[in-house]
Amino acid sequence: MRHITKIIFFLVLSVLFIDCKKEVQPVKPLPTPFSVMAEATDVVSSSGGQVKVDITGQTDGWWVVIPSDASGWCSCSRVYGSGNATISFTFKANASGANRSVSVQFNPTFDLQAQTLTFSQN
């Protein structure tokens, strides 16, 4: 009987010891500086073209919002991602003759402030 009690006591202690072990959690990422910059110019030819934009996000995620009223003539090669990236904006030709512009919003994660680039096309 004493042996059974000792075995049960040992098993209970073993289970408690294993359950009380501290788990190693992954390190939570911290926000990093976020910036966007057009490589060349923010003025697009009336014949259309592309503009490359550098995104510096390091460990942060981000997403791009193009207003729906410009979606017919302005598109983006990538609308979300994380880290550093270079994305291309493609602008269709402007046959109307009227100036048009679009303000594209770049939204970082971690509640960092969004940044906006405005592209104009004559």
Q: What is the DSSP letter of 110?
A: T
Task: Look up residue 54 and give its two tokens.
Answer: 């550098």
The answer to whether the beta carbons of residues 45 and 17 sit under 8 Å apart is no
Phi-psi domain of 24 (left: phi exceeds 0; alpha: psi -120 through 50; beta: other): beta
Complete DSSP assignment for 5-51: HHHHHHHHHHHHHHHTSPPPPPPPPPP---EEEESS-SEE-TT-EEE
**What local confidence, expressed as pLDDT, does residue 3 receive?**
73
Q: SS3 for 116? A: strand
Domains and CATH numbers, the chain: 35-121 (2.60.40.10)
pLDDT tens digits, one per residue of 52-65: 999 999 888 999 99
pLDDT at position 22 over 70 = no
Q: What is the DSSP letter of 63?
A: E
Using only C-alpha atoms, the chain has a radius of gyration, in whole angstroms, of 27
pLDDT tens digits, one per residue of 68-110: 999 999 999 999 999 999 999 999 999 998 999 999 999 999 8
**What local confidence, expressed as pLDDT, does residue 4 receive?**
78
